[in-house]
Protein backbone atom coordinates (compact mmCIF):
# COMPACT_ATOMS: atom_id res chain seq x y z
CA UNK A 1 0.00 0.00 0.00
CA UNK A 2 1.22 3.48 -0.86
CA UNK A 3 0.05 6.58 0.96
CA UNK A 4 -0.26 10.15 -0.29
CA UNK A 5 -0.61 12.57 2.63
CA UNK A 6 -2.79 15.61 2.05
CA UNK A 7 -0.98 18.94 2.40
CA UNK A 8 -2.91 19.64 5.63
CA UNK A 9 -1.42 16.59 7.37
CA UNK A 10 1.58 17.68 9.46
CA UNK A 11 4.95 16.42 8.07
CA UNK A 12 5.63 14.55 11.31
CA UNK A 13 3.05 11.95 10.20
CA UNK A 14 5.26 10.95 7.26
CA UNK A 15 8.35 10.85 9.46
CA UNK A 16 6.68 8.71 12.09
CA UNK A 17 5.04 6.39 9.55
CA UNK A 18 8.40 5.71 7.93
CA UNK A 19 10.02 5.23 11.33
CA UNK A 20 7.33 2.67 12.22
CA UNK A 21 7.19 1.01 8.79
CA UNK A 22 10.43 1.75 6.89
CA UNK A 23 9.33 -0.22 3.83
CA UNK A 24 6.15 1.79 3.37
CA UNK A 25 5.87 4.29 0.54
CA UNK A 26 4.62 7.60 1.94
CA UNK A 27 4.55 10.72 -0.20
CA UNK A 28 3.18 14.15 0.62
CA UNK A 29 1.48 16.65 -1.62
CA UNK A 30 4.14 19.10 -2.69
CA UNK A 31 7.01 16.61 -2.67
CA UNK A 32 8.79 15.65 -5.93
CA UNK A 33 6.65 13.40 -8.09
CA UNK A 34 3.47 14.17 -6.14
CA UNK A 35 0.83 16.78 -6.96
CA UNK A 36 2.00 20.31 -6.12
CA UNK A 37 0.73 22.25 -3.12
CA UNK A 38 -2.62 23.85 -3.82
CA UNK A 39 -3.77 21.12 -6.23
CA UNK A 40 -7.59 20.94 -6.18
CA UNK A 41 -9.02 17.84 -4.50
CA UNK A 42 -10.60 16.41 -7.69
CA UNK A 43 -7.17 16.48 -9.38
CA UNK A 44 -5.61 14.79 -6.34
CA UNK A 45 -8.14 11.96 -6.63
CA UNK A 46 -7.28 11.56 -10.32
CA UNK A 47 -3.56 11.48 -9.46
CA UNK A 48 -4.16 8.83 -6.77
CA UNK A 49 -6.11 6.74 -9.26
CA UNK A 50 -3.40 6.90 -11.91
CA UNK A 51 -0.49 6.30 -9.51
CA UNK A 52 -2.14 3.82 -7.11
CA UNK A 53 -1.88 5.80 -3.89
CA UNK A 54 -4.35 5.77 -1.01
CA UNK A 55 -5.07 9.35 0.04
CA UNK A 56 -4.68 10.20 3.73
CA UNK A 57 -6.54 13.38 4.60
CA UNK A 58 -8.38 15.15 7.37
CA UNK A 59 -10.89 16.70 4.96
CA UNK A 60 -14.26 15.58 6.30
CA UNK A 61 -16.27 18.40 4.71
CA UNK A 62 -15.72 18.42 0.96
CA UNK A 63 -13.90 15.13 0.27
CA UNK A 64 -17.08 12.98 0.41
CA UNK A 65 -18.58 15.12 -2.37
CA UNK A 66 -15.37 15.03 -4.41
CA UNK A 67 -15.26 11.24 -4.11
CA UNK A 68 -18.91 10.92 -5.14
CA UNK A 69 -18.31 13.13 -8.19
CA UNK A 70 -15.19 11.14 -9.06
CA UNK A 71 -17.07 7.83 -8.93
CA UNK A 72 -20.06 9.16 -10.91
CA UNK A 73 -17.65 9.95 -13.74
CA UNK A 74 -16.71 6.26 -13.85
CA UNK A 75 -13.37 6.86 -12.15
CA UNK A 76 -11.86 4.93 -9.24
CA UNK A 77 -9.58 5.61 -6.32
CA UNK A 78 -7.48 3.14 -4.30
CA UNK A 79 -9.07 4.55 -1.16
CA UNK A 80 -9.30 7.54 1.13
CA UNK A 81 -8.40 7.33 4.81
CA UNK A 82 -9.68 10.25 6.85
CA UNK A 83 -7.73 10.81 10.03
CA UNK A 84 -8.66 12.84 13.09
CA UNK A 85 -5.87 15.25 13.98
CA UNK A 86 -7.38 15.66 17.46
CA UNK A 87 -6.49 12.06 18.28
CA UNK A 88 -2.89 11.48 19.29
CA UNK A 89 -0.40 11.01 16.49
CA UNK A 90 0.71 7.69 17.95
CA UNK A 91 -2.78 6.24 17.62
CA UNK A 92 -3.14 7.48 14.03
CA UNK A 93 0.29 6.15 13.04
CA UNK A 94 -0.58 2.78 14.57
CA UNK A 95 -3.85 2.71 12.57
CA UNK A 96 -2.14 3.61 9.30
CA UNK A 97 0.63 1.06 9.87
CA UNK A 98 -1.90 -1.64 10.72
CA UNK A 99 -3.97 -0.88 7.63
CA UNK A 100 -0.89 -0.93 5.39
CA UNK A 101 0.29 -4.23 6.80
CA UNK A 102 -2.99 -6.09 7.05
CA UNK A 103 -4.93 -4.95 3.98
CA UNK A 104 -5.11 -6.26 0.46
CA UNK A 105 -4.14 -3.88 -2.30
CA UNK A 106 -7.73 -3.13 -3.38
CA UNK A 107 -9.45 -3.46 0.00
CA UNK A 108 -10.34 0.24 0.21
CA UNK A 109 -10.99 0.86 -3.49
CA UNK A 110 -13.60 3.58 -4.02
CA UNK A 111 -14.14 3.85 -0.25
CA UNK A 112 -13.69 6.60 2.30
CA UNK A 113 -12.84 5.24 5.76
CA UNK A 114 -12.80 7.35 8.90
CA UNK A 115 -10.06 6.55 11.40
CA UNK A 116 -9.63 5.25 13.99
CA UNK A 117 -11.32 1.97 13.10
CA UNK A 118 -9.81 -0.10 15.91
Residue 44 belongs to domain spanning = 2-114
Nearest to 40 by CA among 65, 13, 15, 17: 65
d(CA 69, CA 55): 16
pLDDT digits (tens, 9 = 90+) for 61-94: 999 999 999 999 999 999 999 999 999 999 999 9
Query: For position 48, which CATH number holds?
Result: 3.40.50
Q: Does residue 118 register a pLDDT over 90? A: no
Q: What is the pLDDT of residue 117?
A: 84
Give 56-108 as a DSSP string.
Answer: EE---SSHHHHHHHHHHTT---S-EEE--TTS-HHHHHHHHHHHHHHS-TTTT
pLDDT digits (tens, 9 = 90+) for 16-53: 999 999 999 999 999 999 999 999 999 999 999 999 99
Of the pLDDT bands very low, low, confident and very high (cuts 50, 70, 90), residue 105 is: confident
Q: Is the pTM value of this prediction over 0.75? A: yes
Count the domains in the chain.
Answer: 1
Amino acid sequence: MRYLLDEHIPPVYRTQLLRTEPGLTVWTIGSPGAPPLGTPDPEILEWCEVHGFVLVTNNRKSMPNHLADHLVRGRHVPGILVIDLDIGIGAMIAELALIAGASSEDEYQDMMVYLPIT
